[in-house]
Amino acid sequence: MNEFADAAGNGLTPNELERILREIGLSRYHNRHPLHHQMTSGQLSKGQLQAWALNRYCYQAVIPRKDAMILSHAEDPAFRAEWRKRIEDHDGSDGWNGGIARWLKLATGLGLDRDFVASQQGALPATRFAVGAYLSFCTDKSLLEAVASSLTELFSPVIIGERVPAMLAKYDYVTEDILEYFKPRPVQASRDADYALAYVRQHADTPEKQQAVIDALVFKCDLLWAMLDALEQAYGDHGHIPPGAFDPKQP
């Protein structure tokens, strides 16, 4: 059941809205997913970690594209000046010295072929549908809803703080160098999330807009959750790898 379906009721103060958004993170963010717990407790095989990195690349790759969609909807130059930093974080100055390149370094550090990962050919169908849905959401919905859908970043410093030390401790082939992607992320994510949250608090000024913001964050949490569900279904102990998807046993 979606307990947030009517959460805006007859209207909320900005503080009440923020409290609900944080509750959504506490109950639905992907750090509550069993696969995340298996990862942090050292239970995943190398093949399962490879599958996670390969699929998650598709998410990384769509982020600057959805942020470009958001930019195209924004009429305020000050908003665009702030939001474009997100694209620079991922693409760097030449396309290959930002977050996307660092994610490829993570994937190759786990033993995957760079071009295969970048081609996205081995990704699960469900991963492709999920990241496509994120791009469509930011294309078709209002600017306010698209900004709200980025608010999972409020919670990403928590999951990164759980993931990185655990991976270093539990998997002897994982090094700090491989996980370099995550180093700047908590600072970048806090900057981005603070801006997006202030925007949402200011612009969600009717019950309808507040409910739309709440729904956008639930949608995004569901999307991240569905990506981990798909990995578990394909690569879990009794999993079933879809035709054409990456198979760790046939590298």
Q: Work out which of 159, 204, 228, 231 binds ligand PQQ, going by CB under 6 A.
A: 159
DSSP state of 86: H
- Token output for 180: 């370099």
User: Does 39 sit near ligand PQQ (CB under 6 A)?
Assistant: no
Q: Residue 107: which residues within 8 A CB-CB, separation 6 or more?
A: 50, 53, 54, 57, 114, 117
User: Does 156 sit near ligand PQQ (CB under 6 A)?
Assistant: yes
Residues in contact with ligand PQQ, shown as a per-residue x/- string from 189 to 218 under the rule CB under 6 A:
------------------------------
User: Does 185 sit near ligand PQQ (CB under 6 A)?
Assistant: yes
User: Does 49 sit near ligand PQQ (CB under 6 A)?
Assistant: no
At its nearest, how many Å lie between ligand PQQ and the CB of residue 185?
Answer: 5
Q: Work out which of 44, 74, 123, 160 binds ligand PQQ, going by CB under 6 A.
A: 160
CA distances 31 to 27, 28, 136, 142, 152, Å, are: 10, 8, 24, 28, 11
Q: Other C-beta atoms within 10 Å of 181: how many? A: 22
Using the rule CB under 6 A, give the single segment among 37-45, 114-122, 156-164, 235-243 that binds ligand PQQ.
156-164
User: Does 152 sit near ligand PQQ (CB under 6 A)?
Assistant: yes
Half-sphere exposure of 226 (CA within 13 A, CB side): 18
Q: Other C-beta atoms within 10 Å of 172: how many? A: 8
Q: Residue 225 CA to chain centroid, in angstroms?
A: 10
At its nearest, how many Å lie between ligand PQQ and the CB of residue 13?
Answer: 25
Which residues in this chain contact ligand PQQ in the complex, by CB under 6 A?
Answer: 63, 150, 152-153, 156, 159-160, 185, 224
